[in-house]
Amino acid sequence: MEFFKFLTDIFEKIIIIGERNFEFPSSFDNKIIILSMEEYWLNKSRVLKKLDSYIDESKDIYLSIDIDVLDPSVFDSVSYPIIGGFQMNDFLGIISKILCSDKVYFCDIVECNPMVGSDNAHIFYQMIQFVKSKLRRI
């Protein structure tokens, strides 16, 4: 949480894709949006509208991608797999929507754990290349 508090001083908006175990103080309400798999599946169109609005009102964005949000059938090399998580097409579609706004200046991808699950190194590498190809060039 301290890391995100630090980021709120630098970036106008922070988008977190993933499942997090903590809640942010209400002072972060207009700076941080967490897109969880559960919220997405409950009301996909509302979440995408909210995301569009959030992106439109932003000048600069920090994107944090927590890949434990992927369904274990897609990517199981995470410490906290979520059954029923995102399928790869939905996941990449959301990431593309955010990255193609040209407002993302920095991005992190967390939670890959090669000590568990299958050997997903090739999928993780492709994800990194996908994100890298769409990141804004300064």
Specify if 109 maps to a domain. yes
Question: Whole domain around residue 124: which residue ranges?
Answer: 2-12+31-50+57-134
Here the CATH number for the domain that contains residue 112 is: 3.40.800.10
This prediction has a pTM of 0.88
Which pLDDT belongs to residue 30?
A: 79
| Average pLDDT per consecutive 10 residues, the chain (138 residues; last block may be shorter) | 84 86 63 86 91 93 93 92 89 93 92 90 92 77
Specify if 122 maps to a domain. yes
Specify if 99 maps to a domain. yes
The answer to whether 70 touches 94, Cβ cutoff 8 Å, is no
Which pLDDT belongs to residue 24?
A: 61
Structural domain total, the chain: 1
Separation of alpha carbons 27 and 31, rounded Å = 8
Which pLDDT belongs to residue 124?
A: 92
Segment holding 116, helix H or strand E: none
Specify if 71 maps to a domain. yes
Separation of alpha carbons 69 and 82, rounded Å = 6
Specify if 24 maps to a domain. no
Specify if 67 maps to a domain. yes
Q: Name the residue among 105, 16, 13 with its Cα closest to residue 66.
A: 16
Which pLDDT belongs to residue 37?
A: 82
